[in-house]
Structure 1
Amino acid sequence: MSDLNFFVTCPKGLEYLLEDELRTFGMDPVRNAPAGVWANGTLESGYRACLWSRLANRVILHLADVDATSGDQMLGGVTDLEWQQHIPVNGSFRVNFVGQNEEIRNTQFGAQRVKDGIVDRLRSASGQRPSVDAKNPDVTVSARLNRGTLSVGIELSGDSLHKRGYRTEKGAAPLKENLAAALLTRCGWPEIARAGGDFIDPMCGSGTLVIEAAMMALDLAPGRKRECFGFERWLGHQPDLWLGLRQEAEKRAYEGKQGIDGRVPLFLGFDQDRGVIQTARNNLQRAGLESIVTVEQRAIDEFARNESWAETGLVLVNPPYGERLSERKELGNLYRSLGEAVKAALPGWRLGVFTGAPEYGKSVGLRSYKQYRLYNGKLPAQLLLFTVDDMSSMTPREPDVPGEVTPRIANEERAAMLRNRLKKNLKTVGQWARKQGIGCYRLYDADMPEFALAIDIYEGRVHVQEYAAPKSVDERSARERLAEALAVIPEAIGVEREAMVCKQRQRQAGTSQYEKQAASGEFFNVHEHGCVLKVNLKDYLDTGLFLDHRPVRHWIQQHAAGKRFLNLFCYTGAATVHAAVGGATRSLSLDMSKTYVNWAEENLALNRADASHHRVEQADCLAWLAAKPSGDQRFDLIFMDPPTFSNSARMAGVLDIQKDHGRLIRQAMRRLTSEGLLIFSTNFRRFKLDESLEEEFAIEEVTRDTLDRDFQRNARIHRCFHIRTHI
């Protein structure tokens, strides 16, 4: 197998770096694709990529391109491949299917057709066939559909290669390991290390940057600590070849730890948070670097040079991004302190700052000589590079931050109008909420045309959403009014400004409503009708709790006793929590987002729901509803609140709630017991119910009953229907 074709995937933006890296493994890159590189090579070079790549996610051995303009054509093409060379007939496999076209719009359908083709090819005369194992298969088949062609391959890497094996603890999401390695490469760390330089991360968090720096400088293969790879039970695997590469990696690791001319670089990580320092030490121990890398609790203003440090080196840091208004002000001080510390202690060194707030680079007090645009997950970010010397020094400046508004009153009379309205609402809506025992409620919803805001109270914290101004209002006037509102709100409500979060809300396309906006990781618990729910005011456009659905959730809680409950498009599972607290015997909650599946599980755990009876699963609800229900998938109570529109690549086609609600309701009703109830809700303001549904089912609109006092000014916030089978 000397002339093989590989597709090696990577995070978006790292393709050119990955191309250079693959050449060092003996591969010949052919072309770059979005988030990946096609390359030719030998099996040995594929093994080397799995063991040594610091940038890749997956290494896929390409088998064939199959015509796939239809499901049947794709099935035939897959069946024709010689799967007996790859999968044992008594073994197991799974299919990772991505992509769609006009005929194959459902990834579950596509995966099933690929599975059928493999099984048809491998089924023996005696009827023996491989099994499908989604969690621990012998072989993972990659199937990537692009227009009318399906690229089929074997995933040699197994789980994503960014998982080195040293980072296992949960917590606020740090940099992924391969992104950290890319930053180090862009900073020129390998060359600095070879020249005798040291490495420091003064805000190291859980230690990813300093660990990756040490592994890179000491020639430690990133795959050394991984427990298994995807090729180890593949029929084409060559154990002797792999053993030789593992032995070579161990030899290089031993030699690398001896250093250059007997000197091992210093690897130092500092952070002011004692908790993350302990996490970093745990990660170092799993990486086998606890005797080589030093991490200490130390704030940036305590940063001082040690005589043992080299004359040259790299400081690389990923500072907080700063989401709250008050944090934005402090962010400038943090960057200024960083610049002052490195200029005083480390002249001649290089500084790299990876940030989601690149405008604060001016506060460092150094001129950046290079900027790279990258992504931290889905968040756009930049890597800023500085040389720490007098030639680069400049006076630190406050940034001109696009979209940032400093609280300021320009028109006292106009500001007084808002102040008086908020105080009035506190006496009316606020008093009502306190009597009802409601801690999270809407205080203000664009009551006055001058201030197009939604202001929500979350048990002492304030969530402000600015509606996008109409085109008739110029941007300067809109910013001036927002500045006045931000100055007035804390005073009128009686909260500290640090307890206020402000966002701009616009019409959302696709799944952007659910995409991450920031990375604070700041969650806290709130209470609603005896339920405990986890919310986050900063990291997403929404908070994890739709306040307008409070009466719907309460109704579910009051009527769930003894029932089987289904929550479709479950988001963070708040409705399921109410059902469980209300005595539902079991529940199933489905959502496409892994983030919200985890969030829902945590909400249920907060309320001590039995996980064996209240399950949350990651699933495409469109595909799940389209599938034929099995006997144990009937429910007495179903809640369905789909997005108004979604064109997510992970979803089976495009969802337009006005166009598609009839189909969704009919499919959901197939999951309902004969005396059950479907609660259907939508936030689409121009929604019109398909009249033909009323001929098939008993439908009652209950919207008016689902609007609490705080949303009665906005009667179009949602529509809600109770749907039953005709009796």
Structure 2
Amino acid sequence: MAELNFFVTCPKGIEYLLADELKEFGMEPFRNAPAGVWASGTLEAGYRACLWSRLANRVILHLADVSATTGDELYQGVQDINWQDHLAVSGTFKVSFSGQNEAIRNTQFGAQRVKDGIVDRLRTGDGRRPSVNPKDPDVTISARLHRGTLAVGIDLSGDSLHKRGYRTEQGAAPLKENLAAALLIRAGWPELAAQGGDFIDPMCGSGTLLIEAAMMALDLAPGRKREGFGFQRWLGHQPDLWLALRQEAERRAHEGRQGQCPRIAGYDQDHNVIATAARNVQRAGLEGVVHVECRELDRFALEGDWAVQGLVLTNPPYGERLSDRKQLGTLYHRLGEVVRENLTGWRLGVFTGVPEFGKSLGLRSYKQYRLFNGKLPAQLLLFNVDKDSEVAPKEIGEPSEVMPRIANPERAAMLANRLKKNMKTLGQWARKQGIGCYRVYDADMPEYALAIDIYEGRIHVQEYAAPKTVDARSARERLAEALAVIPDALQMDRAVMVCKQRQRQTGTSQYEKQGTSGEFFNVHEHGCVLKVNLRDYLDTGLFLDHRPVRHWIQRHARGKRFLNLFCYTGAASVHAAVGGATRSLSLDMSKTYVNWARENLALNGASPRYHQVEQADCLAWLEARPKAGEVFDLIFMDPPTFSNSARMEGVLDVQRDHGRMIEQAMARLSSEGLLIFSNNFRRFKLDESLAEMFQVEEVSPSTIDRDFQRNPKIHRCWHIRHRG
């Protein structure tokens, strides 16, 4: 049987589990993608994935990669595919289109061009052609656009494979079936069931975990009760092969029921939800296998003959509003008490969007998996219920990490619309300027006091500390809303978003590490390469608002000697070196930033012989007598507003000290040279006496780039020269 390529989609975070599962069907995975796996295999393997995959959403038979830098190019590439092998002239189809690029800006236009290419390929001389049927097509065409390439395929699944056919109604916050299956696999249920273990969900909702656990234990194919699949009217369909696989699934189901069946039980305090769960169990054909009962967590107790080992797996409420979250600590604490009292020797799995409350269980987690429940990030926490794992339960107040959730959809939609609009206009501008990092939102809406920056495919969110007049709960609720909206509005993965709170930094705190991820990566700005880190420090290593100043330095540095005082990570020195400065000296008192600046210069090929970085207290260095020949043609000085670092001999207050620092810097400036002085102290006033000694020109407006025009006071900047 011929080898084919497939793209099998799944919920985010379970790609590796899916790859392992596909191997069981005879496929050979060759690349994982976000929310999917590329694999090769026979048509039989593709059919097996449709029938047996517990994790997949869709199985797409890949036909071709089409160049799609323009709409016409896309159309021609689609038309060149041999559609007569897949769809009859009298047949029907629909196009499922995703993605966009510069030429194809919306999915409706992209789908239309794909449709035109298919129809024109199959149109007969007498005008007959296939028609579009969005509700019940013979074939669904999958078209996925990424940058300049369109992946075209046949969706063999029909409806998403997570729809097993047993759940036609659901509780208030249901888990999708394939996510439930992933949780069971991560928690080790298949192995526990094979060893004779039992299963309990004490907060079972509509029963999805229970039913998926039973189907695994009994070897029931997830697609066994589905009404149909997307390949059944496809011209390439092989009915005999499919019939044989269906018969095999029925035989395995019969054999599974003959073996030892584990006890599987679920409880919930909501009568209506339990009634829904009972009907779902009945539709799944699992009456007598899965027991559901209305019972509060406080009344939980094992009754009858249960195994000495098993799995408790549950998905407690998240607390959709921050006002509900104070009750969660009590709920998690009681859950921990229940399992410790009744289920010693078992394993506990808790799937939660508020993982901090896991500390209230009184057990030490031995494994944590990061997953998504729909679009919300969540974690699966795993515990052994035994004495060795017991710890003192912690009372959790306000959580340290805000989890994304939407309390006010209308308000959240306004933020999403603003972000989309900003991203469209500023993204185009940044690409044309050769800028990889830029601000896309700066407290545009008073309800969302955030600065949101793009760092070449990553998102950096800074929450401005709310004034004391703003209710803390309201501020957290709006931040949670923003975090839920931002990734989708900016069309980026939630995993690439980092959120911090900005507060006034004093002393050494401005230099201390905030984390230990070590996640450095390179970004680009006007032809320069710069190293940044979004997670580990208060700042990222690159002050975006000073981009025009750095670019000015780059364009005026040729043949000049450059001095960078308070150099931070040396970005301005990089621009000077790339711009042709003959030599440069960069000074900072932080060893971390000195090493960072050296690495930035090395990334751009700057010779350490001519472009030096030294660890020094800039105040003390300026106070010292200049060395012979220590003269510079271009000096950049951007001091912090305040610093009392232990490494400094004194205390720096930019308002008090700037006059003296500027005089000392000018003593090192050549007669025709220029000092660029800048700072970001909002109430700063330049010492009037400086204008009597030097030629002083404020250039602040010209140093505010397009992405910072909403915040023109983010810094102030002066050009200072010797008087002729």
Relative to the length of structure 1, the TM-score reads 0.57
Q: How many angstroms apart in 2 are the aligned matches of 1:484 and 1:243?
A: 58
* Cα distance change of structure 1 residues 336 and 505 upon mapping to structure 2, 3 Å threshold: closer
- Residue in 2 aligned with 1:109? 109
Map of 2:266 onto structure 1: 269
Pairing 1:513-528 to 2, within 5 Å after superposition: none
CA distance in 1, matches of 2:183, 2:168: 22
Q: Residue 123 and residue 326 in structure 1: after superposition, are their counterparts in 2 closer, same or farther (change >3 A)?
A: closer
Report the aligned-residue RMSD.
2.9
Q: Does 1:312 align with 2:312?
A: no
User: What is the aligned partner in structure 2 of residue 189 from structure 1?
Assistant: 189
Residue 400 (structure 1) shift: 5.5
Contact 1:206 1:280 in 2 (8 A): yes
Q: Secondary structure at the match of 1:265?
A: coil
Q: Which residue identity does 1:18 align to in structure 2?
A: L
What SS is found at the alignment partner of 2:136?
coil
Sort the Cα spacing of 1:504 and 1:242 in 2 relative to 1 into closer, same or farther, 3 A: closer
Provide the rounded CA distance (Å) in 2 between the counterparts of 1:75 and 1:332.
Answer: 56
What secondary structure, in the 3-state scheme, does the structure 2 residue paired with 1:219 have?
coil
Answer with 1 or 2: which has the greater Rg. 2
Which secondary structure state, in structure 2, belongs to the residue aligned with residue 257 of structure 1?
helix
CA distance, structure 2, for counterparts of residue 255 and residue 207 of structure 1: 24
Aligned partner of residue 145 in structure 1, secondary structure: strand
Structure-2 separation of matches of 1:297 and 1:23: 40
Q: How does 1:322-721 map to 2 (within 5 A)?
A: 322-399=319-396, 401-402=398-399, 467=447, 478=467, 482=471, 509=486
> What's the secondary structure of 2:72's corresponding residue?
helix
Distance in 1, matches of 2:84 and 2:448, equals 59
Distance 1:511 1:384, change over 3 A: closer
User: How far 1:475 sits from its partner (Å)?
Assistant: 7.8
Residues 127 and 256 (structure 1), Cα distance of their counterparts in 2 relative to 1, 3 Å cut:
same
Report if the CA contact (8 A) 1:202-1:270 is conserved: yes
Instruction: Give 1:479 deviation, angstroms.
Output: 6.4
Are the equivalent residues in 2 in contact too, given 1:466–1:504 (CA < 8 A)? Answer: no
SS at match of 1:352: strand
Match of 1:152 in 2: 152
Residue of structure 1 equivalent to 2:207? 207
Q: How far, CA to CA, are the matches of 2:230 and 2:473 in structure 1?
A: 58
Cα 1:506–1:479 change in 2 (3 A) is farther
Are the counterparts in 1 of residues 448 and 478 from structure 2 also a CA contact under 8 Å?
A: no
> SS at 2:181's partner residue?
helix
CA distance in 2, matches of 1:331, 1:366: 16
Alpha-carbon spacing, 1:396–1:234, altered in 2? closer, same or farther (3 Å): same
Cα gap change, 1:194 to 1:125, in 2 (>3 Å): same
The offset of 1:129, in angstroms, is: 1.1
Q: CA deviation at 1:150?
A: 1.1
**Structure 1 466/33 Cα, relative in aligned 2: closer, same or farther at 3 Å?**
same
1:522 is aligned to none
Equivalent-residue separation in structure 2 for 1:86 and 1:306 (angstroms)? 57
Answer yes or no: is the 8 Å Cα contact 2:170–2:206 preserved in 1: no
Structure 2 counterpart of 1:29: 29
Q: State whether residues 450 and 464 of structure 2, in contact with CA within 8 Å, keep that contact through their aligned partners in structure 1.
A: no
CA distance in 2, matches of 1:36, 1:10: 5
* Residue 67 (structure 1) aligns with: 67
> How far, CA to CA, are the matches of 2:28 and 2:322 in structure 1?
49
What's the CA shift for 1:21? 0.4
Question: Which letter maps to 1:57?
Answer: N
Give the secondary structure class of the aligned counterpart of 1:31.
strand
Answer yes or no: is 1:301 the counterpart of 2:290. no
Distance 1:201 1:382 in 2: 17
Deviation at 1:125, TM superposition (A): 2.5
> Does the 8 Å CA contact 1:7/1:60 hold for their aligned counterparts?
yes
Find the aligned partners of 1:268 and 1:170 in 2 and give their Cα distance. 18
Residue of structure 2 equivalent to 1:703: none
Determine the structure 2 residue equivalent to 1:721. Answer: none
Amino acid of the structure 2 residue aligned with 1:316: L
2:284 to 287, 299, 312: 287
Partner of 1:529: none
Aligned amino acid, residue 99 of structure 1: G
Q: Which secondary structure does the structure 2 equivalent of 1:183 belong to?
A: helix
Following superposition, the deviation at residue 215 of structure 1 comes to 0.5
Matches of 2:179 and 2:169, distance apart in 1:
18
Change (3 A) 1:271 1:115: same
Q: For the residues of structure 2 that align with 1:180 and 1:247, how far apart are their CA atoms?
A: 26
- In the TM superposition, what whole-angstrom CA distance separates every residue of 1:148-199 from its partner, at most 9, and x where no partner exists? 1111110001111001111111552300000000000000000000000000
1:521-541 CA distance string (max 9 Å, x none): xxxxxxxxxxxxxxxxxxxxx
Shift of 1:399: 2.4
Spell out, residue by residue over 1:426-453, the C-alpha distance to the aligned partner (whole angstroms, 9 max, x if none).
xxxxxxxxxxxxxxxx9xxxxxxxxxxx
- Report the residue type matching 1:154 in the other structure: I
Q: Deviations over 1:507-559 (max 9, x none)?
A: 975765999x9xxxxxxxxxxxxxxxxxxxxxxxxxxxxxxxxxxxxxxxxxx
Contact 2:95 2:111 in 1 (8 A): yes
Amino acid at match of 2:175: L
Contact 1:199–1:315 (8 Å) recurs in 2: yes
Partner of 1:636: none
Aligned to 2:125: 125
Q: Check 1:370–1:388 CA distance in 2 against 1; reply closer, same or farther (3 A cut).
A: same
Take 1:505 and 1:209, find their aligned partners in 2: how far apart are those partners?
28
Identity across the alignment (%) = 68
Match of residue 15 from structure 1: 15
Q: Output the CA distance in 2 between the equivalents of 1:232 and 1:190.
A: 31
Shift of 1:392: 0.3
The alpha-carbon distance between structure 1 residues 503 and 9, as it changes in their structure 2 partners (threshold 3 A), is closer
Residue identity matched to 1:190: P
Kindly indicate whether residue 28 of structure 2 is the aligned counterpart of residue 6 of structure 1: no
Report the counterpart of residue 248 of structure 1 in structure 2.
248
Partner AA of 1:482 in structure 2: D
CA contact (8 A) 1:359 1:400 kept: no
- The whole-number CA distance in structure 2 between the counterparts of 1:506 and 1:142 is 31
Question: Residues 273, 289 of structure 1: CA spacing in aligned structure 2 closer, same or farther, 3 A cutoff?
Answer: same
Task: Report deviation, 1:273.
Answer: 0.5
- How far 1:299 moved relative to its partner? 0.7
Pair 142,474 (structure 1): closer, same or farther in 2 beyond 3 Å: closer
CA contact (8 A) 1:467 1:506 kept: no
Give the aligned residue type for 2:197. Answer: G
What corresponds to 1:651 in structure 2?
A: none
**Cα offset, 1:363, TM superposition:** 0.6
Distance 2:73 2:311 in 1: 55
Could you list the runs of 5+ residues in structure 2 that have no partner in the other structure?
Answer: 403-410, 412-444, 452-461, 495-724
Distance 2:296 2:191 in 1: 29
Amino acid at match of 1:329: K
Closer, same or farther in 2 for the Cα pair 1:325/1:65, shift >3 Å?
A: closer
* Greater displacement, 139-148 / 20-29: 139-148
What is aligned with 2:627? none
1:323 CA displacement: 3.5
Per the alignment, residue 614 of structure 1 pairs with: none
Partner-residue secondary structure (3-state), 2:267: strand
Q: Is the 8 A contact 1:200 1:314 kept in 2?
A: yes
Cα deviation, residue 325, structure 1: 4.9
